[in-house]
Amino acid sequence: MNTYKAPVRDMSFALFDVIQAEAIYAKLGIEAAQRDIMDAALEEAAKFNENVLAPLNSVGDREGCTFDKATGNVKTPTGFKEAYTQFVEGGWAGITARAELGGMDLPESFGVLMKEMIDAANLSWGNYPLLSHGATEALKHHGEPWQQEVFLKAIVEGRWTGTMCLTEPHCGSDLGLLKTRAEPIADGKYAITGTKIFITGGEHDFTDNIVHLVLARLPDAPAGTKGISLFIVPKMKVARDGSVGERNAVRCGSIEHKMGIHGSVTCVMNFDGAEGYLIGQPNKGLNAMFTMMNTARLAVGIQGLGLIDRAYQNALRYSRDRLQMRALSGAKEPTKPADPIIVHPDIRRMLLTSKALGEGGRLLAYHAATLVDVMERTTDDAERKQADDLLSFLTPIVKACLTEWSVECTYNSLQCFGGHGYVAEWGMEQLARDARITTIYEGTTQIQALDLLGRKVMQQQGVGLKQFLGMIQQFCEQNIANAPLAEFIGPLAVLAKEYTDTTLAIGKRAAANPDEIGAASVDYLFYSGYVALAYWWAKSVAVAEAGDYPADFKTAKRETARFFFARILPRTRMHKAGIEAGAHSLLALDAALFDS
């Protein structure tokens, strides 16, 4: 009963009309990135996701993955492997990879549109290509030419998949505690020994080989994070010439039984002297790891976006069909025994919250993705640094806010169904369960908040923040005399000023007490997210009003923006109060007294 229809019109509007990506692509010399070509590709992508992946979403949830303890093999849910074969045959595995690697050479930002569809259609299935993409990025930026030829091309073509093996049983976000060992052996190879947990796609039946990217320590490595190296450890041994040998000494020891994403296998991986190759320089693995992590963090933000949209679509359809009671202001459909529940104000509040956060969040995420294109393709070093600074600032906001909003919006969408939302056959409780992990993996919301405020704002002196505030201020100045936008421009300009003042105040308090950073970080993160969406909603209205769009489209954008400014943007007041409350109330109670 739970379906998905790709929102192609709004995707195209966001990327091409509001963000003006086509001009960005032209400047970067991406010849294949013409709007008519990409619009056609978008329609094809929609067919694959609506007709192939979306129907498998409930199948994956019901069946989950099956682990054979005797062999260490994993069987994915019915239809998953066949869908991957179609995905590869359609050329989607390498959609954003360069042509010389066997890819389609389309922009990373266009790949994000495809990814949003995949995550909305089938989040569990989408985790397999997501991890491959992270491995691709690490190999592309840090691998030796022969490693790119042998491993990267195979992943781009979809013949092999990739993983990130970072976490250990005793070591989550604190990678300085990592214990996995790497011993040099013959022919420039290393023997990798250790256990990794929470490894998405660590074992499956999609492909014959899986390329694990593993963090480990060399024998002479310094302590802490300065002594971590990154290694390629394939499931099947692979020689430098690309020939595949016998099974490597890496094996899935068990799979996790999880709250959600049942079709996505999460493995404990045991490395017992497995053969591997060093990526990059010894003890410099964190550089390559952060390449994977930053890619994955944006990708997980897109997962939140996809879940918001699918949950919203189904809640909207149900709210239009479900008859229950009469509108308080009088019957809206007097020929029927009751009115559809969409007439009730609080149903509209929940639906509009999902619409506002989803469509606004789409712009936030797509804009970040275009910065990836600029970083990777520009020949101007200053432009590259500028894009990098802004992307670094936006990444934790995209990851944390979109995933937290997905929890809120899947909850609201389930609530629209009432008791039916709690029943599995409607598919809403699956979306709510699946959403929960997105706030945790690839760095929890709290990690993102500390990264944003502690590193990207305080340590880097707010270089990305200043850029973003400059965008807002420029937009406000350009539209100060635009009367139809006045209701948005005024509040936005005030917030931009307040944003600066609030940040400076945190820095002043933190100089006296470093705990102020941790105390303010989550509130600061959400404050940032809501200000960002206020900018994008104001800009959406400006573009819609000035363009040749249907009247209903323009009306929907303006009224949703009004809802956002009236009902959601005031959340910044609560977060500002939390920031200003400081660290004292959080730390005053002694840890021993929490159970008193």
Among residues 174, 288, 281, the alpha carbon closest in space to that of 225 is found at: 174
Instruction: Kindly tell me the burial class for residue 357, based on how many C-beta atoms sit within 10 Å of its own C-beta (0-12, 13-18, 19 or more).
Output: buried
370/456 Cα distance (integer angstroms):
19
Q: Is 442 considered catalytic here?
A: yes
Contacts of 362 (CB under 8 A, 6+ apart): 10, 11, 14, 116, 305
Contacts of 504 (CB under 8 A, 6+ apart): none
Q: Annotated catalytic residue: which of 137, 275, 359, 442?
A: 442
**Cβ pair 64, 80 in contact under 8 A:** no
Reduce the secondary structure of 517-583 to three states and give it as a string. HHHHHHHHHHHHHHHHHHHHHHHHHHHHHHCCCCHHHHHHHHHHHHHHHHHHCCHHHHHHHHHHHCC
φ/ψ of residue 446, rounded to 5: -65, -40
Q: What angle do CA 531, 357, 329 make, to 5 degrees?
A: 115
Collapsing DSSP states into helix, strand and coil, what is residue 218? coil
Instruction: Identify any residues that bridge with 231 across adjacent strands, giving them in sequence order.
Output: 214, 278
Bridge-based pairing state of the strands 160-165 and 181-184: unpaired
**Cβ pair 417, 426 in contact under 8 A:** yes
301/320 Cα distance (integer angstroms):
29
Contacts of 415 (CB under 8 A, 6+ apart): 350, 421
Contacts of 584 (CB under 8 A, 6+ apart): none
**Cβ pair 11, 113 in contact under 8 A:** yes
Q: Is the dihedral of CA 508, 512, 514, 519 positive or negative?
A: negative
Question: What single-letter DSSP state applies at residue 480?
Answer: T
Instruction: Identify any residues that bridge with 214 across adjacent strands, giving them in sequence order.
Output: 165, 231
397/594 Cα distance (integer angstroms):
31
Name the residues annotated as catalytic: 442
